[in-house]
Chains A and B, each alone.
Chain A
Amino acid sequence: MRAILAIVISGGLALVAGAAPRAVSELAALIDAAPAGTTVVVPPGEYHGRLRIDKPIVLDGEGRATIDGGGEGDVIEIACAGVTVRGLRIRGTGKDVSSEPAAIRALAGETTIEDNQIDDALFGVDLREAPNSVVRRNTIRGKDLEPGRRGDGVRLWWSHGCVVEDNRVDRTRDLVFWYSEDLTVARNHVTGSRYGLHFMYSHSTEIVGNELTGNSVGVYLMYSNRIRLTGNVMTNNRGASGYGIGLKDCDDITLEGNALLANRVGLYIDNSPSSVDSAGVIVRNLIAFNEIGFLATPNTHDNRISGNAFVENEEQAATNGRGDLARNTFSADGAGNFWSDYAGFDLDGDGRGDLAYEPRSLFSSLMATQPNLRLFVHSPAQQAVEFTARALPELRPSPMFTDPAPLARRPALDLPTGTSERSAWPMATLGAALVGGAAMVCLALTRDGRLHVGERRIA
């Protein structure tokens, strides 16, 4: 009986102790006591203060420990190679952009940062010259600041050979990769940020299966070469730039099997490839429902664009400025792309349209030189201009490019589906409410309007 009572009391005390914040120095003492290469399990609870790890150990919070930096500087700084930080809740970095405070900052390689939950952080994970590191399955949420004052969710700086995968990042600036090569960036979900994935001078990387939704730009590659983007979904990136994928001065880029949906611009190419002997390969992507499907600077050349499906973009392809896209190839091995506005036909049934696809929208060409006219898109007046151009061939501009073998049917692309499916019930309810409301008003106002004979007798 007493024994049971003792256990209950000590358990209660433990709970009370667990509820009160402790100093991070307790943790530092645990780490000091642990031999290198061992695992330090952080006792459950909340720790206040900033932690520096300078010994190759595994620090495991098992999802029950929180470290709160108290709003000053970095929270965890990793100063030596071979450290793993796992299963911690981390919050409360400083907020001054110029000092770049991070929830976890690694200054050495072979670091593993996984299964952490990072909140209220200016920078989430910052790897500085930390090659061969892994950033995996972390949830990172930025501070509620205006975009210009936020920090990066994940930043790599001169860190080659890293793996960044399965992270979920919300409301930060960028996931940005500086001067880092041979990376794997896979299956990350980035929302509400500036650039979902941002590459600066970072070459030879695989970008696979990421989902970038509701950012200003999905993926922006700058001055980065030999990058393969496959199986990514870029949805609803409609900020100031608003690109699903943007390429600036990048050589030897391959885009394959990506879905670029409902962005302001699906794919934006600015002077890529920029070197003479390189080429871009853009194949088997779905580019759908964007304001502009494919936008390029007029000097763009040497991209091979084939097997893609361009579906219901307001403008399928456009240049920003006067010029055309004729120096790119729109077919390979006799197969071009699917264009949802293709008006031709396929009489011989070989799956290729018998007429070339040659977009020559008068309104598009007007907009290229008179940007103010974009005010009138989505209006009947725009349709009137296009109609006039069709009726009066001398008004038609020369084609922006030629797809000699447009696909007659939409290719079946093995594409990622995205995870943004939502319940159909609210919309169905709205529909029913609209119809039902109208019907009720009709009934109420048309019923009971006539004289009821027989019910009343007049003396």
Chain B
Amino acid sequence: MSAVPQTVAIESNPRRRSYAGGALAFARREFRDAMSSRWFLLYTMAFSALAVAVSFMSLSGAGSQGFAGFGRTTAGLLNLIMLIVPLMALIAGAGTIAGERERGTLLYLLAQPVSRTQVILGKYLGLALALVCSLCIGFGVSAGALAWRAGGVGLGSYATLVGMTCALALAMLAVGTLVSAMSRRTGVATGVALFVWLALVFLSDLGLMAGSILFKLRVQEVFGLGALNPLQAFKMSVIVSMNASLDVLGPAGVYASQAFGEGLPWLLGSVIGAWTIVPLAVAVGAFARRGSV
């Protein structure tokens, strides 16, 4: 068949190897590991099932008026996504470096001709791809259910929902990876990731609600503090894409629509972007500066 090396070439020159190539090898392995692992299958199936269930529930018995239920379906999906997707991404990220460290495999990987940055970015990339695939399958199945029950309404909004959910997953994965890079044991990393999840999903919003009532926060303060939470930024950007304004979120939403206008989606998107880039950069920095494995 093809040319076969007759002997093993002996080369003692240090080779230039492509930086991306090493990272991609990690990405690919991470992706394959995720594909063959139970959590991936479980999350994909759970997410698909829940997404379809929410779609059906929201459209229950809507009959010929079903098309109008799309907005409510999306709203129902929002809640589901804000609960499950960060959990999925944080836990997946938390396991990635700490898991290798705990199994003792990290040392062996680092003894290969790769840099720590390659390791962490490659692993991030692989998990990110796996998560996006998982979400796309869930959304795809749910889109089928919607097409069947409600017809082709809200296509653009639905596509935005898919895109923003993937962005949210990437941000939460970055936070999980940061937690993992700083933790010695998987258990600790998972615990910290769960706490971060709790904080982002419940504690920060509840705290802000209480603060808003107790300190009589002004509307721009409520919006500003709320939008710092990547989950709220995600929610708002989906609502903006559906309604072209945030009026449904009351005075704070009206303020945001008026103050930022066309720039609002970009503002919200950059919040999520910052939640991706900053944790990832800190994770790379912290991992590279670690004295030991």
Contacts and interface: CB of A to CB of B under 8 A. Distances in A.
Q: Is there a direct interface between A and B, measured as CB atoms under 8 Å apart in the complex?
A: yes
Nearest to B36: A446
A267 to B, nearest CB: 15
Contact of B58 (A235, A312, A374): A312
Contacts of A366: 209, 213
Nearest to B225: A375
Contact of A427 (B62, B69, B133, B151): B151
A435 B202 contact: no
A375 B32 contact: no
B222 interface: yes
B251 A421 contact: no
A311 B58 CA distance: 9
Interface string A406-441: 000010000101101111111110111111111101
Nearest to B143: A431
Interface in B1-44: 1-2, 4-7, 28, 31-32, 35
A434 B139 contact: yes
Interface string A320-347: 0000000000000000000010000000
A242 B254 CA distance: 13
Nearest to A425: B152
A385 interface: yes
Interface stretch (B102-110, B170-178, B188-196, B241-249): B241-249
B231 interface: yes
Contact of B62 (A240, A242, A288, A379): A288
B47 interface: no
Contact of A422 (B69, B151, B213): B151
Nearest to A458: B4
Contacts of A415: 65
A21 to B, nearest CB: 39
Interface string B186-216: 0000000000000001100110110011000
A242 B139 contact: no
Contacts of A437: 136
A445 B28 contact: yes
Interface in A375-408: 375-381, 383-385
A438 B140 contact: yes
A422 B156 CA distance: 14
A121 B288 CA distance: 67
B89 interface: no
A434 B140 contact: yes
A340 B69 CA distance: 13
Given A311-B61, A372-B250, A422-B152, A445 B75 contact: no
Contacts of B219: 372
Contacts of A426: 152, 155
Q: What bracket does the count of chain B residues touching chain A fall in?
A: 35 or more
Contact of B143 (A381, A427, A446): A427
Given A379-B79, A427-B146, A372 B212 contact: yes
B232 interface: yes
Contacts of B67: 418, 420-422
A425 B143 CA distance: 11
A371 B251 CA distance: 7
A28 interface: no
Nearest to B221: A372
Contacts of A286: 65
Q: What bracket does the count of chain A residues touching chain B fall in?
A: 35 or more
A378 B159 contact: no
A375 B226 contact: yes
Contact of A441 (B65, B69, B133, B217): B133
Given A379-B82, A417-B64, A374 B253 contact: yes
Contacts of B235: 378-379
Contacts of A377: 248-250
A379 B232 contact: yes
B141 interface: yes
Contact of B140 (A264, A435, A442, A457): A435
Given A312-B60, A424-B152, A381 B201 contact: yes
Contact of B4 (A312, A425, A456): A456
A423 B155 CA distance: 11
B173 to A, nearest CB: 16
Given A428-B147, A430-B158, A459-B6, A367 B250 contact: yes
Interface of B: 1-2, 4-7, 28, 31-32, 35, 57-58, 60-62, 64-65, 67-72, 75, 78-79, 82-83, 129, 132-134, 136-137, 139-144, 146-148, 150-153, 155, 158-159, 162, 201-202, 205-206, 208-209, 212-213, 217, 219, 222-223, 226, 231-232, 235, 239, 243, 247-253
The 5 closest A-B pairs by CB, nearest first: A374-B250, A431-B143, A434-B140, A381-B205, A435-B140
28 contacts: A238-B243, A261-B68, A261-B69, A262-B69, A289-B62, A311-B61, A312-B58, A312-B62, A312-B69, A340-B60, A366-B209, A372-B212, A375-B250, A378-B79, A380-B82, A381-B205, A418-B68, A420-B68, A424-B147, A425-B147, A428-B143, A430-B143, A430-B159, A431-B143, A434-B136, A435-B136, A439-B137, A459-B7
